[in-house]
Structure 1
Amino acid sequence: MTVEVGLRERKKAATRAALSAAANRLAVELGVEHVTVEAIAAAADVSPRTFHNYFSSREEAIVASIVDWADRLTDELEKRPADEPMWDSLQRVFLDSVDESPDGHARLIRQLEMIKANPAVIASQLSALETMRRRFAETIAARTGTDASIDLYPHLIAGAAGHAVKTAMDLWALGQHDRPLRDLIAEAFTLVRAGLPQPDPSRS
């Protein structure tokens, strides 16, 4: 029975991933306004009915990779040593997850452009990021002996870490400089951990 359940869950995860990948690819290639549930389902080789078993809208499917990314990062965070400082653990799992390849850079640019051009997708992205923050907060609470239902700490740490990474990725994607993404994320964490000290203009 355990083997059957495990196989069924893997098949469901594979179907969800295929639908998400198809939705994202079609949105980037065609524009969100030209993407239909039927087209996404066909690209993933499933029925529209199956699509609705996983997602309530095309926008939710398009940004589902953020939720899946959050799940993977949460799993990795839970595996970090219990005595490792929380910020060190967060920085490690985020740095290990980034794709700095030319293809990764180009893909991120296309995705950001697609998202910014579509208010409905922006709303779904914000919802996905909020889901990510809550999951991180619960894991941080377990690691730090706090209570995610009443304590600010795990939510503030999760929010600050997530926003630091998103800001670094946005700047990297814009191509305003040639610094590696990992360096930008590391600097973002350093600044946040230091309390965001105001830069000294004389050192510019």
Structure 2
Amino acid sequence: MKERGLRERKKADTRAALVTATLRLAIDQGWENVTVEAIAAAANVSYRTFFNHFSAKEEALLFPAGADQPRLSARLRAQPAGTGVLAAARAALHEDVTVLESDPAALRDWITVVAGIPALLPRLVEIGAADEREVAVAIAERTGQDAGTDLYPGLLAAVLSAAVRVTFSRWHAQRGAVPLTALLDESLDALAAGLPEPGH
């Protein structure tokens, strides 16, 4: 068990080194000039080792925890039964945001890099749409509805996705002056209140 834990920790450290190298090279050299060979060299691992963790450089940038890691829908399902949907979604999103907020400088760099690569937009849209569908199914399970035919699950999933995008955009524009979790709560509070008009 101890040996297995050591292997897992070493694997996680290697993945983290590859992610850090990918982001740093994108900043220093421009994304179009980043190669898998350069990433592996910067992380001090072999070319083959890179592909033990990621299928391509885009995956190393967009899925730093790994494409097979639990998504928001899984964290939503893990919330206690009987918790309201919005409260469960807030708790699930807080889990994600708290991890990201632990390294704000890296998060700012990541947003800057990704926003500056138009070629990644189709992949980002694809990821967002897939995540929304999964979250809609999780919401439907909690509400006893059908994600394909009922309004609420799909609409709430889309609104949550938009709230997260706006939250990250505001946080980046404000250079992290306000904690990410606080901005997220502000967005979710506004949604829970019915999105009242400013001044009302």
Q: Give yes or no for TM over 0.5.
A: yes
Deviation for aligned residue 1:61: 3.0
| Amino acid aligned to 2:159 | A
Q: Structure 2: how far apart are the matches of 1:158 and 1:69?
A: 21
| Structure 2: gaps (5+ residues) | none
Aligned to 1:187: 186
Partner SS for 2:64: helix
The 10-residue stretch of structure 1 (25-34 or 165-174) with the greater mean CA deviation from structure 2: 25-34
Per-residue Cα deviation, 1:49-103 (whole angstroms, up to 9, x for no partner):
6656765542233111387597253332222111110000111121233249987
1:124 — aligned with what?
123
What is the CA RMSD across the aligned residues, in angstroms?
3.6
Written as runs of structure 1 = structure 2, the 5 A alignment for 1:1-204 is 14=12, 19-43=18-42, 48=47, 57-65=56-64, 71-99=70-98, 104-175=103-174, 178-200=177-199
Structure 1 residues 103, 182: CA separation in 2 closer, same or farther (over 3 Å shift)?
Answer: closer
List alignment gaps of at least 5 residues for structure 1. none
Letter aligned with residue 64 of structure 1: F
Answer whether contact 2:101 2:180 (CA < 8 A) is retained: no
Please give the per-residue CA displacement for 1:110-130, whole angstroms capped at 9, x wherever unaligned: 112111221112332232222
CA distance in 1, matches of 2:74, 2:102: 26
Q: Can you list the C-alpha shifts for 1:24-63, whole angstroms capped at 9, x where unaligned?
A: 3432343212211222344456655665676554223311
- Structure 1 residues 66 and 123, CA, compared in 2 at 3 Å: closer, same or farther? farther
State which drifts further: 154-163 or 97-106: 97-106
TM-score by length of 1: 0.74
Bigger RCO of structures 1 and 2 (CA < 8 A, at least 6 apart):
1
Alpha-carbon spacing, 1:27–1:177, altered in 2? closer, same or farther (3 Å):
closer
What's the CA shift string for 1:156-203, capped at 9, x where partnerless? 211211221221121112126833222211110111122211112xx7
Are the structure 2 counterparts of residues 138 and 175 from structure 1 closer, same or farther at C-alpha, using a change threshold of 3 Å?
A: same
Aligned with 2:197: secondary structure? Answer: coil
**CA–CA distance in 2 between the matches of 1:141 and 1:80?**
14
CA deviation map 1:126-167 (0-9, x unaligned) = 322223222212221222222223333222211211221221
Give the 3 Å change call, closer, same or farther, for CA 40–86 of structure 1 in structure 2: same
Decide which moves more: 159-168 or 100-109: 100-109
For the residues of structure 2 that align with 1:177 and 1:23, how far apart are their CA atoms?
A: 22
Higher mean C-alpha deviation, range 32-41 or range 17-26:
17-26
Aligned residue-pair number: 196
Please give the TM-score of this superposition, normalised by the length of structure 2: 0.75
Q: Distance in 1 between matches of 2:46 and 2:176?
A: 44
Give percent identity, aligned residues only. Answer: 36
